[in-house]
Amino acid sequence: MYYLMETYTVYPATPKTMETFIGNMKERYIPEYKKNSAVLIMAWSTSSTDLGKITQLFELNDINTYQQLLKQKKDNSLLKKIELDLDTMVNEKHSQLLEEISPLFRDNIKSTIAQSKPDEMREFTLAVLQVSPEYMDEFSSRLEKGIEMGHPMVTGMRSLTGKLNTVFDIWKINMMFGYQPQEFYNQFGFTEDFFKDMRRIAPKESMEKIFPLPYSPIR
């Protein structure tokens, strides 16, 4: 399974501009994507780097879906018009093609959507890791083991564009604990050896709390 992650920085970053941008996404942009078999699974905002930062994650059945979508963005006059309108409200945007780390995550995504309620906003964390290329298979195996152990993960994806060793993990809890001693992490099974080994595999990692948007299937 493939995914398309699109990130926008809304400008000016005011509540009204955000409201207008989100309305256009929900009513115009996302339905056009769905016609081309790109299905939204999650949309969120965060202000950890830039105010007005919005990200949307679309599920694609195969690489042909991605190629067809790129073609439509060039040839479909309605989609082009929608994108031009959205461009007036952003000062930065970029997209990344991603691939699932493991097919085990497909059921995780379905169950997380099924558990989502319109009137509830759960806490989520996005972890971005730079995995040493020679350890990517080992890292994937570790994520699969985590799924089997019941770790509260939604999905794990690796980049196919940009930095190819980048991995994106979405957790359905708030992982932003700030500084805590090792004893704190032991209660979750994250031992000192676990962290040492993880830093061997993925020397660099960042996390940010993400806030699902009102139209996000996962929330």
Q: In terms of pLDDT, which residue wins out, 3 or 162?
A: 3
- Mean pLDDT for 143-162 is 91
pLDDT of residue 48: 75
DSSP string, 76-135: -HHHHHHHHHHHTTEEEEEEEEEEES-TTHHHHHHHHHHH--TT----EEEEEEE--GGG
Residues 83 and 114 in one domain: no
Average pLDDT along the chain: 92
Q: Specify which residues 90 forms β-bridges with.
A: 10
Q: Looking at 99, 133, 153, which one is the last position of a domain?
A: 99
DSSP secondary structure code for residue 216 in this structure: -
The range of the structural domain enclosing residue 124 comes to 108-212
Residues 29 and 52 in one domain: yes
pLDDT of residue 200: 96
Residues 70 and 137 in one domain: no
pLDDT at 211 over 90: yes
Residues 70 and 8 in one domain: yes
Q: In terms of pLDDT, which residue wins out, 181 or 120?
A: 181
Residues 43 and 133 in one domain: no
Model confidence at 81, pLDDT cuts 50, 70, 90, reads: very high
26 vs 4, 82, 115, 182, 214, CA distance in Å?
17, 12, 21, 43, 9
Counted domains in the chain: 2
Structure confidence by residue, pLDDT tens digits, 31-80 = 999 999 999 999 999 877 778 899 999 999 999 999 999 999 889 899 99
Model confidence at 190, pLDDT cuts 50, 70, 90, reads: confident
Residues 133 and 192 in one domain: yes
Q: Specify which residues 207 forms β-bridges with.
A: 127
DSSP string, 2-70: EEEEEEEEESS--HHHHHHHHHHIIIIIHHHHHHTTEEEEEEEEE-SSSTTEEEEEEEESSHHHHHHHH
Residue whose tokens read 């769905």: 34
pLDDT of residue 177: 87
**Distance from C-alpha of 151 to C-alpha of 99, rounded to nearest angstrom:** 20
DSSP secondary structure code for residue 185 in this structure: H
Tell me the CATH number at 40: 3.30.70.100
pLDDT of residue 5: 97
17 vs 21, 47, 51, 53, 90, CA distance in Å?
6, 15, 12, 12, 9
Dihedrals phi, psi of 11, to nearest 5 degrees: -140, 130
Q: What is the Cα gyration radius of the chain?
A: 18
